[in-house]
Amino acid sequence: MNRKMVFFIIGRILLLESILLGLPMAVSIYYWDGGQIPLLFSMLLSLALGATLTRFMRPDSQVIYAREGFLITGLAWVIISVLGALPFVLSGEIPSFVDAFFETVSGFTTTGASILTDVEKMSRSMLFWRSFTHWIGGMGMLVLMVAVMPNLPGRTIHILRAEMPGPTMGKLSPKLSDTARILYLLYIALTVVELLLLLAGGMPLFDSAIHTFGTAGTGGFGIRADSVAGYSPYLQWVIAVFMMLFGLNFNLFFLLTMRRFKSVLRSEELWTYVAIVLASTALICWNIRPLFACFSDALRHAFFQVTTISSTTGFSTVNFDSWPSLSRMVLVLLMFIGACAGSTAGGLKVSRVVLLFKTFRREIRHLLHPHSVTTIRFEGRTVENTTLSSVATYFALYMGLFVLFWFIVSFQPGYDGVSNFTAVAACYNNIGPGLNLVGPAGSYAGYSPFVKLVLSLAMLFGRLEIYPMLISLMPGVWLKK
Amino acid sequence: MRIIIVGCGKIGTALIGALVREGHDVVAVDNRPEILNRLTNQYDVMCLPGNGADFETLSEAGVERAELLISLTSSDELNMLICFLAKRRGARHTIARIRNPQYNRSSLDFLRQQLDLSMPLNPELLTAQEIHNVLQLPAASKVETFSLNSFEMVELRIKEDSPLIGHQLMDLRDHFRAKFLICVVQRGNEVVIPRGNFVLQSGDRIGITADRSELWKLLKQTGLARRQSKKIMLVGGSRIAYYLSKRLQSSGSKVVLIEVDKTRSEQLHGTLPNAQVFHADGTDQERLLEFGLLNQDAFVSLTGMDEENLLLAYNAKIQQVGQVIAKINRDEIVQMAEQMGLENVISPKNVVVNVVLRYVRALENSMDSSIEKLYQLMDGKAEALEFVVPAPAPFTNIQLKNLHLKKNILIAGLLRNNAAIIPDGEDMILPGDRVVVISGQRKLKAMMDILQ
């Protein structure tokens, strides 16, 4: 194994993180809110570690294989979270390191689950950093590194494949670094558009930035106790629509810029996703209609809650925990489905769900007509059996790990089954709020440090789609030459 | 620049590797997903599953923005069709592999014109040419001819009894009273551009540039030259064997051809009436001796199996045939062959890669640099580049010994008024010269890049 290369790339990631910490630093200097010293210290520490690693771990050979790709990704995410947690601890705003780690992992993995009981007490720079981690984690730190740092070897694809969500990875251009750049450009462009639309609706600049970061990364950290409930309906609609957009496969946006509209309209995943969102909205809207005075409110709240959960963001406009159990059940289901592959969202991903259903259908047809030949087509192409079986395996593993996490979390005294179940579901699928004690009005503060660490792990497993974390945790992989 | 490669077999894959290393945007199209999977893991390319002649696949590959499309599928006709369509869809240049000898006769020019092909690519013909070149100059493993045929570079291996051993390079010229330059040396796996105090060892592979007549003088004096091979035995009746036999016969050599398949051997005899064709298993030593292996000047193994070619060549070497050439495709077996002391190994894959790379470099240069021609030396570990110096520049009118060149750069030859000059430290580059620069591993774009 090319250990030097693993640490060399981690070193680069740390250099990048120290640069990225500059933005909250600037915010902190602007508001002079006491976050400067902790942020400066974190920046310098990250810089020093990064410089040391890139200096002393200069690899003899740049060749890496899938194994190194998984390890780099898994390790990098843990390390950036540890360093990203430092400003919170040092500023004393989240004194416990475990809490700060949970919060940062929740930020980078775009989960949005919080241990804060009173978010409005936080300083501006810390709130900014918390939400900025969403934006970085949404598209991915490693993708950013490939986009901005030149001269990486050809096999970088192993790293990106480990970080980018979805069953298969499609390149947008022949060179990986160009692909990463295109993705980030699209990401930035969409972010700017949302920011402008929010500003146009009268939201202050700071609030707009926070909510745009939360939406773009499909994270969901807000700055108010009631999330976005206090903002105008226009602003809520803007956020809802953008949550849905950020849940789409970014390849589609690329195709749009290339003026290949036909290819976009033919995307099966896109239509399935839209259908899921519309159907759930209609169902919930009908279900909660009696709770609201006018239809437009019910529609808005239903649509907002559906997009926030299906795109795995986690903002809320109402406390949906008080909704009828049918609506709550639909929302929990949406948690698992998630949004499209190649988006910033979490969950199983719509394309996997579609492939799973097609596999089930084929299996049943096969039972009825044992000699029938059936191929599965998706997005206009025949899907290979290896892809199908890897999707099925992923699903089994996904559910297996979910049960394991649920089991461990259940040791926590004082929490009911629904809370535990949805807490794990919300972390694992990178959503944020669950139901009952961890609902939109509650927080994760009451869990023991051990459970918080387990939930942090669940978030990382969910964001990186299991394998990178699983492989990084296997000691045998590290010991192998 | 954007290059689309359709058909990713052995040659396609090798080409992709080389083009990616050169920094091009490569799109690979193939209808075998397992091959594309391997490619994406190995190289920074975009892979598209599909048929290259399919309109949608072509547009998805971005054919309208492509500088070059290379079609290498197993079918000549499909390659022609793909290139035709690509050209119509806006690809600037197209290269098609056309290997059927029937298309490679008089119809080739017509095809090329009608399809607007930039270059037809016939790997077997190119390989045959390469082997023929080597057979023409028996001491060398490779010959490159620079501009206007006036000077050449040969690659050869230093034997234990060579008189070149033990002298510093700067003394060699006086010693042999010939104007030549040893411009690149491969020792083990390392390629260096030697300085004047470099001392050669046995086993080194060297590149010598000299004027053609001087080169012969040198080769004779050093005992490196041998009689040109006139009697040649070929084992394996592939297309390469066919092309090679034709060339050899037209240059007056006698060819003995051994082919294991009966119909194929009859076919060969039909098309090569002057060759002696035997139907036999070439791996049978008895038979080879019976057909006169020991009387041959040269032996070339051309069967479809790398391993077989390696062993056949090794056997011929042990039997002390003057010159032994093996066709070997896989890189690791090429290395093995070198370790077994076989100097002349020719890999069709590398031959094609060199030709295409040269073409691509030329395309690039026609856009943004002044390189006239490019030659790959020592299996691509070093390069020889030809520049034209049109006007006075910081490096003209200065004696070469006073020029501050980058490391691993050497001025190997000057071409002034159609005369070749093998320069020494006193010579200088003048405006209007053609200059041959040898560069180890460094990618040069312009003549200015040679200076520190």
* B18-to-B31, B40, B52, B68, B118 alpha-carbon distances in Å: 22, 15, 21, 15, 20
Question: Which residue type, as a one-letter code, is found at position A44?
Answer: L
**Alpha-carbon span A209 to A215, nearest angstrom:** 10
User: Which tokens go with B329?
Assistant: 């495709």
Please indicate whether, in this complex, the C-beta atoms of A66 and B41 are within 8 angstroms of each other.
yes
Cβ(B408)–Cβ(B192) under 8 Å? Answer: yes
Query: Across A300-456, where does the E strand assignment appear?
Result: 377-378, 381-382
Does position B148 have pLDDT exceeding 60, yes or no?
no
- The DSSP code for B229 is P
At residue B439, the pLDDT reads 84
Count of H helices and E strands in chain A? 22, 2
Tell me which chain A residues have a C-beta less than 8 angstroms from the C-beta of B33. Answer: 384
Please indicate whether, in this complex, the C-beta atoms of B20 and A176 are within 8 angstroms of each other.
no
Please indicate whether, in this complex, the C-beta atoms of B44 and A174 are within 8 angstroms of each other.
yes
At the second CATH level, the architecture of B353-450 is 2-Layer Sandwich (3.30)
Which residue of A66, A175, A381 is in closest CB contact with B44?
A: A175
Which residue of A171, A175, A384 is in closest CB contact with B33?
A: A384
Predicted confidence band of residue A154 (pLDDT cuts 50, 70, 90): low
Predicted confidence band of residue B142 (pLDDT cuts 50, 70, 90): low
Higher pLDDT, A167 or A446: A446
**Residue A388 domain flag:** yes
Cβ(A63)–Cβ(A9) under 8 Å? Answer: no
CATH fold for domain B129-221: Alpha-Beta Plaits (3.30.70)
B379: region left, alpha or beta (phi > 0 left; psi from -120 to 50 alpha): left
Residue of A nearest to B29 (CA): A174
| Nearest-neighbour CA in chain B from A149: distance (Å) | 15
Please indicate whether, in this complex, the C-beta atoms of A154 and B44 are within 8 angstroms of each other.
yes
Does position B63 have pLDDT exceeding 70, yes or no?
yes
At residue B178, the pLDDT reads 75
pLDDT in tens, A427-478: 999 998 888 888 888 889 989 999 999 999 999 999 999 999 999 998 888 8
Residue of A nearest to B62 (CA): A173
At residue B224, the pLDDT reads 64
Which residue of A174, A381, A384 is in closest CB contact with B45?
A: A174
Q: Provide the CB-side half-sphere exposure for A115 (13 A, CA).
A: 26
At residue A206, the pLDDT reads 94
Q: Provide the CB-side half-sphere exposure for A303 (13 A, CA).
A: 19
- With respect to CATH, is domain B231-321 assigned 3.40.50.720? yes
pLDDT in tens, A293-347: 899 999 999 999 999 999 999 898 998 888 999 999 999 999 999 999 888 888 8
Tell me which chain A residues have a C-beta less than 8 angstroms from the C-beta of B24. Answer: 174
Residue of B nearest to A383 (CA): B33
Q: Provide the number of structural domains found in chain A.
A: 1
Residues of A with CB under 8 A from a CB of B: 66, 154-158, 171, 173-176, 178, 381, 384
Please indicate whether, in this complex, the C-beta atoms of B44 and A176 are within 8 angstroms of each other.
yes
Do the domains B353-450 and B231-321 match in fold?
A: no
Does position A390 have pLDDT exceeding 60, yes or no?
yes
pLDDT average, residue stretch A396-405: 95
Residue of B nearest to A179 (CA): B46
At residue B60, the pLDDT reads 86
Chain A CB within 8 Å of residue B19 CB: no
Residue pointed to by tokens 């969409």: A190
Please indicate whether, in this complex, the C-beta atoms of B44 and A157 are within 8 angstroms of each other.
yes
Helix axes A268-288, A350-368, angle to 10 degrees: 100
Least confident of A15-24, A78-87, A163-172, B60-69: A163-172
**Alpha-carbon span A141 to A463, nearest angstrom:** 12
Please indicate whether, in this complex, the C-beta atoms of B25 and A178 are within 8 angstroms of each other.
yes
Q: Where are the domains of chain B?
A: 2-121, 129-221, 231-321, 353-450
Least confident of A105-109, A197-201, B18-22: B18-22
Cβ(B41)–Cβ(B61) under 8 Å? Answer: no
Please indicate whether, in this complex, the C-beta atoms of B46 and A173 are within 8 angstroms of each other.
yes
Tell me which chain A residues have a C-beta less than 8 angstroms from the C-beta of B40. Answer: 157, 171
Chain A CB within 8 Å of residue B378 CB: no
Does position A171 have pLDDT exceeding 80, yes or no?
no
Please indicate whether, in this complex, the C-beta atoms of A174 and B49 are within 8 angstroms of each other.
no
Predicted confidence band of residue B223 (pLDDT cuts 50, 70, 90): low
Query: What ipTM does this complex have?
Result: 0.77
Cβ(B361)–Cβ(B136) under 8 Å? Answer: no
Cβ within 8 Å of residue B132, ≥6 positions away = B244, B247, B248, B251
Higher pLDDT, B149 or A168: A168
**Residue A407 domain flag:** yes
Residue of B nearest to A262 (CA): B56
Does position A218 have pLDDT exceeding 60, yes or no?
yes
Higher pLDDT, A428 or B402: A428
Please indicate whether, in this complex, the C-beta atoms of A158 and B49 are within 8 angstroms of each other.
no
Q: What is the mean pLDDT of chain A?
A: 90
Tell me which chain A residues have a C-beta less than 8 angstroms from the C-beta of B26. Answer: 174
Highest mean predicted confidence (pLDDT) among B62-76, B148-162, B350-364 = B62-76
| Nearest-neighbour CA in chain B from A390: distance (Å) | 15
Chain A CB within 8 Å of residue B8 CB: no
Tell me which chain B residues have a C-beta less than 8 angstroms from the C-beta of A380. Answer: none
- pTM of the predicted model over 0.95: no
Residue of B nearest to A154 (CA): B44
Which residue of B27, B41, B42 is in closest CB contact with A174?
A: B27
Please indicate whether, in this complex, the C-beta atoms of B26 and A174 are within 8 angstroms of each other.
yes
Cβ(B234)–Cβ(B132) under 8 Å? Answer: no
Predicted confidence band of residue A62 (pLDDT cuts 50, 70, 90): confident
* A304-to-A200, A338, A432, B229 alpha-carbon distances in Å: 20, 15, 15, 84
**Residue A406 domain flag:** yes
Does position B225 have pLDDT exceeding 70, yes or no?
no
Which residue of A154, A381, A384 is in closest CB contact with B20?
A: A154
| Nearest-neighbour CA in chain B from A174: distance (Å) | 4
Which residue of B24, B25, B41 is in closest CB contact with A157?
A: B41
Please indicate whether, in this complex, the C-beta atoms of A175 and B41 are within 8 angstroms of each other.
no
Please indicate whether, in this complex, the C-beta atoms of B44 and A66 are within 8 angstroms of each other.
no
Residue of B nearest to A63 (CA): B42
Q: What is the mean pLDDT of chain B?
A: 84
| Nearest-neighbour CA in chain A from B354: distance (Å) | 21
Which residue of A157, A175, A384 is in closest CB contact with B40?
A: A157
Give DSSP secondary structure letters for B181-205.
EEEEEEETTEEE---TT-B--TT-E
Least confident of B102-116, B275-289, B299-313: B102-116
pLDDT in tens, A71-112: 999 999 999 999 999 999 999 999 999 999 999 999 999 998
Please indicate whether, in this complex, the C-beta atoms of A174 and B46 are within 8 angstroms of each other.
yes
Tell me which chain B residues have a C-beta less than 8 angstroms from the C-beta of A154. Answer: 20, 42-44
**Residue A414 domain flag:** yes
At residue A213, the pLDDT reads 95
Residue of A nearest to B41 (CA): A155
Taking the CB of residue A393, how many other CB atoms lie within 10 A of it? 10
Tell me which chain A residues have a C-beta less than 8 angstroms from the C-beta of B29. Answer: none
Residue pointed to by tokens 């087509």: A377
- Looking at domain B2-121, its CATH class is alpha beta
At residue A312, the pLDDT reads 92
Percentage of chain A lying above the pLDDT 90 cut = 61
Tell me which chain A residues have a C-beta less than 8 angstroms from the C-beta of B49. Answer: 381
- Residue B437 has φ and ψ, to the nearest 5°, of -110, 135
Full domain range(s) for residue A375: 350-464
Nearest to A38 by CA among A29, A30, A51, A50: A29
First-residue to last-residue Cα distance in chain B: 28
Predicted confidence band of residue B385 (pLDDT cuts 50, 70, 90): confident
Cβ(B365)–Cβ(B376) under 8 Å? Answer: no
Does position B140 have pLDDT exceeding 70, yes or no?
no
| Nearest-neighbour CA in chain B from A258: distance (Å) | 11
Please indicate whether, in this complex, the C-beta atoms of B42 and A156 are within 8 angstroms of each other.
no
pLDDT average, residue stretch B263-275: 89
At residue A37, the pLDDT reads 93
Taking the CB of residue B442, how many other CB atoms lie within 10 A of it? 14
At residue A45, the pLDDT reads 96
At residue A195, the pLDDT reads 96
Percentage of chain A lying above the pLDDT 70 cut = 98
pLDDT in tens, B162-213: 778 878 887 877 777 777 888 888 887 788 888 878 888 887 888 888 877 7
Residue of A nearest to B27 (CA): A174
- Which burial class, exposed, middle or buried, applies to A228 when counting CB atoms under 10 A from its CB (0-12, 13-18, 19+)? buried
Which of A62, A152, A155 should one mutate to test binding to chain B, selecting the residue with the greatest count of B CBs within 10 A? A155
